[in-house]
């Protein structure tokens, strides 16, 4: 009888130890499993983080900035194939380090920009109420995140921006074409100067050039939109003179009949010159600058 009790007690104790060991093992396994899951989630969380900013080159950035700064201007000229991209604008200190998109016209045909990490600063020329020359550079900022969210997030948007960027011509090609055209014009002029001058004299007179210059100046697509275009009048026309190192056949001087009053639309006189190279130059007070739009309009009017 005592022996039976002894064996029963021994069996009960062994069973209790076995059950306790299984429970401890289960608890340890659960703890280890939870720890493993937590660690995995942390690793997955870190690996799933991705910067929202996708690197783009300077030319592509210029396209997006131009669409913010001057969308209509940009789309008009890019579709005509007349937009250029340049790096490190060689202008004044305010534009040091800025890249630019340009149609190579007056100051309003430039968009300057530079980036600093996620911050993009861009500048455009804003004309005054009186004239382009009296305007100023306006500086604005936009984040690269915002640009990409608006213009570079979907596949179709990226395709459109890249297509625009591919249409931009290097600024060097514009400068090269000007030099080549100048060289060709100079060669033709020097080889047959008398004939050229004779043809010009027969086709273009001081009177019809002056009439054209005044009309072009008050044309919205060329000279701009004026509140009172009828106030402009021809002041004088000079022939065969040289200014700013340029030989001119004619220079028409335009003035505002309200000059010196609060109603004046321009300060001082403005000049439109026909160079002997056949190009049109504008002078708003800071020197003559060749203007492609006026030159094209002049050719359409006199050389058809």
The domain that holds 167 is classified in CATH as: 3.30.1460.60
Taking only the tens place, the pLDDT of each residue in 129-158 is 888 988 999 999 999 999 999 999 999 999
Per-residue pLDDT at 181: 60
Q: Who contacts 294 (Cβ-Cβ below 8 Å, separation ≥6)?
A: 216, 222, 272, 280, 282
Is 101 part of a structural domain of the chain?
Answer: yes
User: 163 and 104, same structural domain?
Assistant: yes
Per-residue pLDDT at 280: 94
Residue 93 DSSP code: G
User: 103 and 203, same structural domain?
Assistant: no
Distance CA 70, CA 110 (A): 10
Is 28 part of a structural domain of the chain?
Answer: no
Provide the token pair at 6.
């002894």
Is 41 part of a structural domain of the chain?
Answer: no
Per-residue pLDDT at 252: 93
Distance CA 281, CA 139 (A): 28
Distance CA 16, CA 38 (A): 33
Average pLDDT taken over every residue of the chain: 79
Nearest 10 degrees: Cα torsion 205, 208, 210, 216? -130
Mean local confidence (pLDDT), 278-299 = 90
Of 211, 290, 218, nearest to 256 by C-alpha is 218
Is 178 part of a structural domain of the chain?
Answer: no
Mean local confidence (pLDDT), 108-129 = 93
Distance CA 131, CA 226 (A): 9
Q: Which residue has the higher pLDDT, 127 or 202?
A: 127
User: 200 and 152, same structural domain?
Assistant: no
Distance CA 243, CA 88 (A): 30
User: 265 and 224, same structural domain?
Assistant: yes
Is the pLDDT at 44 greater than 80, yes or no?
A: no
Distance CA 295, CA 281 (A): 8
When pLDDT is cut at 50, 70 and 90, the band that residue 40 belongs to is: very low
Is the pLDDT at 33 greater than 80, yes or no?
A: no
Where does a domain end: 127, 144, 173?
173
Q: How many beta carbons lie within 10 A of that of residue 279, not counting itself?
A: 20
Torsion region of 81: left, alpha or beta (phi above 0 gives left; psi -120 to 50 gives alpha):
left
Per-residue pLDDT at 201: 45
Per-residue pLDDT at 42: 45
β partners of residue 119 = 116, 143
Is 264 part of a structural domain of the chain?
Answer: yes
User: 142 and 112, same structural domain?
Assistant: yes
Q: Which residue has the higher pLDDT, 146 or 269?
A: 146
Per-residue pLDDT at 273: 94
Is 117 part of a structural domain of the chain?
Answer: yes
When pLDDT is cut at 50, 70 and 90, the band that residue 48 belongs to is: very low
Distance CA 244, CA 283 (A): 10
Is the pLDDT at 261 greater than 60, yes or no?
A: yes
Distance CA 117, CA 52 (A): 13
Is 44 part of a structural domain of the chain?
Answer: no
Per-residue pLDDT at 184: 59
At which residue do the structure tokens 């530079």 appear?
Answer: 114
When pLDDT is cut at 50, 70 and 90, the band that residue 219 belongs to is: confident
User: 208 and 257, same structural domain?
Assistant: yes
Length in residues, the chain? 304
At which residue do the structure tokens 């010159």 appear?
Answer: 273
Is the pLDDT at 89 greater than 60, yes or no?
A: yes
Per-residue pLDDT at 175: 74
Domains contained in the chain, number:
2
Following DSSP, what letter does each residue of 116-142 receive, concatenated?
Answer: ETTEEEEEEEE--SS-STT-EEEEEEE
Is the pLDDT at 123 greater than 60, yes or no?
A: yes
Is the pLDDT at 125 greater than 80, yes or no?
A: yes
Q: How far is CA 111 from the centre of its chain?
A: 4
Distance CA 248, CA 241 (A): 5
Is 258 part of a structural domain of the chain?
Answer: yes
Q: Which residue has the higher pLDDT, 122 or 38?
A: 122
The pTM of this model reads 0.46
Tell me the residue range of the domain where 76 lies.
Answer: 58-173
Q: What percent of the chain has pLDDT over 90?
A: 39
Of 106, 110, 107, nearest to 86 by C-alpha is 110
Mean local confidence (pLDDT), 20-27 = 54
Per-residue pLDDT at 113: 96
């Amino acid at each position: 009888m005592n022996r039976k009790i002894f064996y029963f007690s021994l069996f009960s104790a062994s069973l209790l130890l076995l059950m306790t060991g299984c429970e401890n093992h289960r608890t340890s396994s659960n703890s280890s499993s939870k720890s493993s899951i937590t660690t995995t989630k942390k690793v997955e969380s870190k690996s799933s983080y991705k910067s929202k900013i996708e690197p783009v080159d300077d030319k592509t950035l210029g396209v997006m900035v131009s669409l913010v700064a001057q969308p209509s201007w940009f789309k008009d000229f890019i579709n005509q194939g007349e937009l250029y991209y340049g790096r490190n604008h060689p202008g004044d200190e305010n534009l040091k380090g800025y890249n630019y998109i340009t149609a190579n016209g007056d100051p309003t045909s430039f968009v300057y920009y530079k980036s600093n990490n996620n911050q993009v600063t861009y500048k455009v020329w804003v004309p005054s109420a009186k004239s382009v020359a009296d305007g100023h550079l306006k500086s604005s900022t936009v984040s690269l995140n915002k640009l990409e969210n608006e213009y570079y997030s979907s596949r179709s948007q990226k395709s459109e921006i890249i297509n625009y960027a591919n249409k931009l011509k290097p600024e060097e090609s514009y400068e090269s074409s000007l030099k080549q055209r100048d060289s060709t014009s100079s060669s033709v002029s020097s080889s047959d100067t008398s004939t050229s001058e004779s043809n010009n004299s027969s086709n273009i007179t001081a009177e019809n050039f002056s009439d054209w210059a005044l009309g072009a100046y008050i044309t919205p697509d060329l000279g701009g939109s004026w509140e009172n275009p009828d106030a402009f009048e021809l002041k004088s026309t000079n022939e065969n003179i040289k200014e700013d190192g340029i030989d001119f056949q004619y220079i028409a001087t335009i003035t505002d009949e309200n000059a010196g009053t609060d109603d004046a639309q321009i300060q001082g006189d403005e000049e439109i010159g026909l160079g002997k190279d056949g190009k049109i130059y504008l002078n708003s007070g800071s020197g003559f600058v060749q203007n492609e739009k006026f030159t094209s309009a002049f050719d359409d009017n006199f050389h058809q």
